[in-house]
């Protein structure tokens, strides 16, 4: 049986590769944008749909590649929360958000910032980027399986003999 530190290193190596390939594709797809702006837009996109991802019925309702979450159900996010999440100075977030609002990518709601459903750059609805993500995720899962990690149960650290003795 593999030890926990081997599993951690293997998973870390493969997930880092997945994240870097994903970011690279995002930058390539939106090459007219500054990387910091892309990071902010995608952090807001993620915050906007956390409520959808946590609700099985909403997750199913908006699962089609042809279905976009309407602005009315998006969960807004504050500039301060973005600043904390991304570990960026609040003033940097404020300045970048102002520019993205001028480009009509972001909108302000009572609940906070959202990426607009109708933004001209198709953030949140870029089918090519979504298809590329599926290819990258498939590669990640295949690589983890090849490394002996078939699912979440394989990520658990094996129990030590001492902890087993304590439990009995």
Largest CA distance in the chain: 64
* pLDDT above 80: residue 8: yes
What tokens does 42 get?
Answer: 């995608």
Cα-to-chain-centroid distance, residue 97 = 19
CB 112 within 8 A of CB 77: yes
How does pLDDT run across 67-93, given as a tens digit for each residue? Answer: 999 999 999 999 999 999 999 999 999
DSSP state for residue 159 in the 8-state scheme: P
| Burial class of residue 24 (count of CB atoms within 10 Å of its CB; 0-12, 13-18, 19+) | exposed
Mean pLDDT (the chain, rounded): 92
Q: Which residues of 143-163 are buried (b: 16+ CB within 10 A; e: fewer)?
A: bbeebebeeeeeeeeeeeeee
Provide the percentage of residues in the chain whose pLDDT is more than 70.
92
Q: Would you place residue 2 in the very low, low, confident or very high pLDDT band (cuts 50, 70, 90)? A: low
| Burial class of residue 133 (count of CB atoms within 10 Å of its CB; 0-12, 13-18, 19+) | middle
pLDDT for 103:
97
Per the model's pLDDT, the better-predicted residue between 40 and 4 turns out to be: 40
* pLDDT above 60: residue 151: yes
How does pLDDT run across 24-59, given as a tens digit for each residue? Answer: 999 999 999 999 999 999 999 999 999 999 999 999
Cα distance between residue 144 and residue 18, in whole Å? 11
Per the model's pLDDT, the better-predicted residue between 139 and 2 turns out to be: 139
Distances (CA, A) of 150 to 16, 103, 123, 140, 144: 18, 44, 32, 11, 7
Q: Would you place residue 4 in the very low, low, confident or very high pLDDT band (cuts 50, 70, 90)? A: confident
* pLDDT above 70: residue 168: no
What tokens does 59 get?
Answer: 């997750």
H/E run at residue 88: none
What is this structure's pTM? Answer: 0.85
CB 112 within 8 A of CB 82: no
pLDDT for 155:
86
Q: Which residue reads 């958000």 in tokens?
A: 97
pLDDT for 157:
60
Partners of 109 in the beta sheet? 112
pLDDT for 161:
47
């Amino acid at each position: 049986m593999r030890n926990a530190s081997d599993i951690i290193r293997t998973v870390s190596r493969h997930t880092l590769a997945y994240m870097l390939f994903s970011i690279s594709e995002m930058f390539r797809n939106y090459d007219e944008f500054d990387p910091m702006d892309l990071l902010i837009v995608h952090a807001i996109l993620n915050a906007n749909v956390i409520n959808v991802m946590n609700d099985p019925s909403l997750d199913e309702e908006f699962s089609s590649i042809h279905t976009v979450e309407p602005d009315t159900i998006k969960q807004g996010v504050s500039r301060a929360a973005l600043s904390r999440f991304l570990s960026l100075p609040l003033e940097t977030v404020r300045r970048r958000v102002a520019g993205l609002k001028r480009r009509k990518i972001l909108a302000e709601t009572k609940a906070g910032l959202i990426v607009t459903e109708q933004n001209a750059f198709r953030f949140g609805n870029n089918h090519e980027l979504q298809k590329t993500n599926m290819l990258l995720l498939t590669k990640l899962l295949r690589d983890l399986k090849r490394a002996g990690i078939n699912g979440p149960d394989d990520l658990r650290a094996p129990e030590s003999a001492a902890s087993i003795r304590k439990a009995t």
